[in-house]
A and B are shown apart, each in its own frame.
Chain A
């Protein structure tokens, strides 16, 4: 049995920062990630990040991860358990982390859940064919293992994930035939990201959806069709793409199954990506010993995930009686508010407001 002050589940930007903040305040921390490396989504991000120059913006995602990883590995109070998935939480406060051979029982005093998000899927004919990939899978293959799963790509979804993966594919010398989106305008991609792939020759075809993929047991071509304002297909607008990969970048949902098991209160808030655990400003859920931070608390981005992680980490240490400068928590909260003042965060802010009015 491992008995840390704080168990952090997930080693992305939120989890790494929660672990560092709690440990710096004096708490002992166990940080578990099911992947072999720390960093979460960041290790796949080869592009430069937005945000404040003073807080790491302009650096590439994996560089940010490396910096925090270094601090964690040298920290005397943080123990990491990599390649282990936290698979269960029990009412008596015991958590279970396991790989295929081994498992650990953990009895923490506080828990920060920073499990990130999972990718959405959409339905079309043969969507289980080899050659249909989620964006995250292609990014992992390409940017972590250096393998390109195909040569010619059709990307579905024009959010930031779709356009960024398109750019990374071009960098890897793949051919991206097009990005399609059913919406009449960009599905959330920042204008500058969308502009840089279009000038490199990748068209963004709006009001278009995928109807199926076909080929001899794997994707050889994708069929698409234009849609009207009500998203109904318009006959005669069919277009075939000869591609070997269809890459889906159609959205993320908070990965909060672990919390279901404990009966933590969740609400369906579309603006935050689906079911999200109710939480206060410090990330505390309806279960007073469990916190959430990062995408699991509502789909946002790495800077906000890192800030939320810091706040939750400090709050867990404060709960346990370690000395924490409360001004630091306030300052982090203020930074979060500033960051969200962009019109691009409007949806997230509305979502959070709705979540907060729901009450515990």
Chain B
């Protein structure tokens, strides 16, 4: 439960999840930031003004219709709490900020991990790239993995195989 260990439950996720229809159209940002931390880089990073916040200490709101899937908010978020979601016919694509070295290689098969770090499926690294953070000077690496489509709301990290 989120109040106990910080890990969001389905009840939390429902409030920020894009619709299935939207995820089928094109990549879209989803945040998992449900606490009123004094933080706002996501708002400033977004070129389409899709992310809004009432005050610094409110939780963000993403307008999924305005979002173009550019990923800048994923790179800017200090909480590593924003992900890009996209549904294809046969797989789900998840893009996450990855602050570890060495970086994985495109095509690599990895374990898809759920929010408690449990391996729940096989995943494949599709793309490894980097985007500037909020200061425009430093970059954050992003990794896009593909998972079985029904795992798109479950997988949030991956583990490289030995």
Contact = CB atoms under 8 A, between A and B. Distances in A.
A287 to B, nearest CB: 31
Interface stretch (A90-98, A253-261, A337-345): A337-345
Nearest to A64: B135
Contacts of A47: 78
B122 interface: no
Interface stretch (B63-71, B84-92, B110-118): B110-118
Most buried by B among A58, A189, A194: A58
A186 B5 CA distance: 6
A345 B114 CA distance: 31
Interface size class of B (residues with CB under 8 A): 35 or more
A52 B40 contact: yes
Interface string A68-88: 000000000000000000000
A57 B55 contact: no
B133 interface: yes
A13 B41 CA distance: 20
Contacts of B23: none
A45 B94 CA distance: 28
Contact of B41 (A57, A191, A194, A339): A57
Contacts of B34: 191
Interface residues of A, number: 42
A191 B43 CA distance: 19
A198 B7 contact: yes
A51 interface: yes
B148 to A, nearest CB: 18
* Chain B interface SS verdict (over half): loop
Contacts of A338: 55-57
B3 interface: yes
A271 interface: no
Contact of A194 (B7, B56, B114): B7
B104 interface: no
B126 interface: no
Interface string A170-209: 1100000000000011100111111110111111101000
Nearest to A340: B38
Contacts of A58: 41, 44-45, 76-78, 133-135
Nearest to A186: B6
Contacts of A223: none
Nearest to A196: B80
A171 B99 contact: yes
Contacts of A189: 6
Contacts of A63: 135, 138
A273 B133 CA distance: 33
Given A171-B100, A195-B81, A201 B138 contact: no
Interface in B109-147: 113-117, 133-135, 138
B61 interface: no
A265 interface: no
Q: Give 5 closest A-B pairs by Cβ, nearest first.
A: A194-B6, A192-B79, A201-B117, A58-B134, A48-B78
Given A191-B8, A199-B156, 12 more contacts: A53-B41, A53-B43, A57-B41, A60-B138, A63-B135, A186-B4, A190-B37, A192-B80, A198-B115, A198-B116, A199-B113, A342-B37
